Amino acid sequence: MTISGFDGVLAAAQEGSEWAWDILVCDVGPRLVGFFRTRGIADPEALTGDVFVDLAKNLTNFDGDESGFRSWVFVIAYRRMSDEWRRQKRRAPETPSDTTAEPVQVAPSAEDVAMEGLESVEAIRMLEVLTADQRDVISLRVVAGLTLEETAQVVGKPIGSVKSLQRRGLATLRREIVRQGVSR
């Protein structure tokens, strides 16, 4: 979506247009799901839905450009993710009461197919070698496709710190790939 096109879509969405809301959701939805997956959220689709509820409630209050909108969305997502981690820490792990039930077969969504590479245990495990801040920055920059400025706003750090976290994170990933003998 171009920035000039974004202004019209945003205005229409703020006035309640369903087609405009769909465009906004389709633009950021897959990025949110991918970001939550790389950060180890158990149900990334549900958390993405929670972010969209917040967006719908507050969309009329937003005033800015496309870049500002993406930053705003991921600030909300980042806060929701932190809340989810706190909730997970308070809950004891649940054990299933009936392990004899057959699993339900569901066809993968287009979103799941697109993010297939990120779902692999190896890809997510690879990110575990990073610090939490590095994982946040790499996930926001690579998976969500945010700019340095947008990422800095989401994580609440100066751009220079974001650049440094990205550089160190990528260097750590490179070393880990070489160490494990992973080829291109």
Q: What would the pLDDT profile of 3-16 be if each residue is shown by its tens digit?
A: 458 999 999 999 99
Q: Which CATH class is domain 3-93+113-180?
A: mainly alpha
Query: pLDDT below 70 — which residues of the chain?
Result: 1-4, 92-123, 182-184
Burial class (CB within 10 angstroms; exposed 0-12, middle 13-18, buried 19+) of 164:
middle
Question: Domain segments of the chain: what residues?
Answer: 3-93+113-180
pTM for the complete prediction?
Answer: 0.68
CA angle 73, 82, 171 (to 5 degrees): 85
Q: What would the pLDDT profile of 43-76 be if each residue is shown by its tens digit?
A: 999 999 999 999 999 999 999 999 999 999 999 9
Task: Specify the 3-state DSSP secondary structure of 62.
Answer: coil
